[in-house]
Amino acid sequence: MLFITNRVLNEGPTPVREANAGLPRSVSFDLKNNQAEQSVYFCRRDSANTYTEIGSQVFLSELRNRNVKEILFYIHGYNNLPEPAIFPRAQTLQSLFNLKSPNYVQVVPLIWPCDNNFGQVRDYFNDQIAADQSGVAYSRLFQKFLDWREQNSNEANPCTKRINILAHSMGNRVLRAAFADTVHYFLPQGIPLIFRNIFMAAADLVNEALESGKEGQHIPSSARNVAVYFAADDLAMRASKVANVAHSIASKRLGHTGPENIFKVSKNVYALDCADFNNTYDPPMGHGYFAEMPSGEPGLVFEHIWRCMQTGRVPMGGLGGRTAILSNNLLT
């Protein structure tokens, strides 16, 4: 599995040598260090706890040459470590897509530095800091990707793979920071429409974040569709609100209510209420409901994501609205 990370590596930064003579190299995560590196490492997971840094050019060429139609960058939530949490979840997503259609989607995890002491307010805010500081690294990633695509695509040899993002929980904070830093440092006129779909699951952002002038305003402009999945009884979102209020940040969360006012966000933003099943999929927290059901079969959010990726449109029941309760009826 290909992956990108800005976690600290035990082996230190990528060797700077002529023609990347220091790569490939075996690498491992420094799990005691949650510092957010300002650079990213382009790697491959060979097996559990066995990783190889291969470098950006090899990575991007391999990604381009993969026999798939779409790429899904997966940005995990807080309190997750690479093993046994992030990679297995990414592998589950990959397996679900393969069940739908082999060689259609390639899942690529973006691994940012966070802790794994769930429920501790201090660690929650440490992860918030790491998420914000990761913005610079992933803004460089997106700019590198744009530059590479320009250099390696032309009329005779176009890059036809569609690019999507799935951000879960505090991973949406990483996404928000990355886009804000991209605009600040590289693209002052705004991010071009380079993503087909952005899926924001249980987003740990304020619920006004996607409005013009707010912290996540660049997210809708970068994608054809933005699907926001939320649930009022997501206990992690309730804990997030309480933790933020304790630090004088009083606002409802996007993953708890959806957008504060759907008419104040771009018309390509859609809100899907998942409260009918989130706690059935992920008891007792009701937070990690975006992939499989307890039986292992694809869940409703996954099925909705799959339809979006297949068609380039967001299933909303044919009524023309931008808010809906997510159910099987919506997918028929």
pLDDT tens, the chain, 332 aa long: 999 999 999 999 998 754 556 899 999 999 989 899 999 999 999 999 999 999 999 999 999 899 999 999 999 999 899 999 999 999 999 999 999 999 999 999 999 998 776 555 556 777 888 999 999 999 999 888 888 777 766 656 667 789 999 999 999 999 999 999 999 999 998 888 999 999 999 999 999 999 999 999 999 999 999 999 999 999 887 655 555 544 445 578 999 999 999 999 999 999 999 999 999 999 999 999 999 999 999 999 999 999 999 999 999 987 779 999 999 999 98
Task: Say if residues 14 and 22 touch (Cβ distance below 8 Å).
Answer: yes
Class of domain 65-136+148-331: alpha beta
pTM above 0.85, yes or no: yes
d(CA 210, CA 136): 20
Region for 202 from its dihedrals, namely left if φ exceeds 0, alpha if ψ lies in -120 to 50, beta otherwise: left
| First-residue to last-residue Cα distance in the chain | 33
Q: How far is CA 304 from the centre of its chain?
A: 16
pLDDT in tens, 170-222: 999 999 999 999 999 999 988 889 999 999 999 999 999 999 999 999 999 99
- Which pLDDT belongs to residue 27? 98
pLDDT at residue 245, rounded to an integer: 46
Residue reference for tokens 């290909």: 2
The Cα 47–Cα 200 span in angstroms is 28
Contact 45, 3 (CB under 8 A): yes
What are the φ and ψ backbone dihedral angles of 225, each rounded to 5 degrees? -135, 145
Write the CB contacts of 157 (distance below 8 Å, at least 6 apart in sequence): none
Token pair, residue 118, equals 């769930």
Tokens of 92: 């589950």
Structure tokens given for 35:
């510092």
At 18, is the secondary structure helix, strand, or coil? helix
Euclidean distance between CA atoms 322 and 262, whole angstroms: 7
Phi, psi of 44, deg, nearest 5: -135, 135
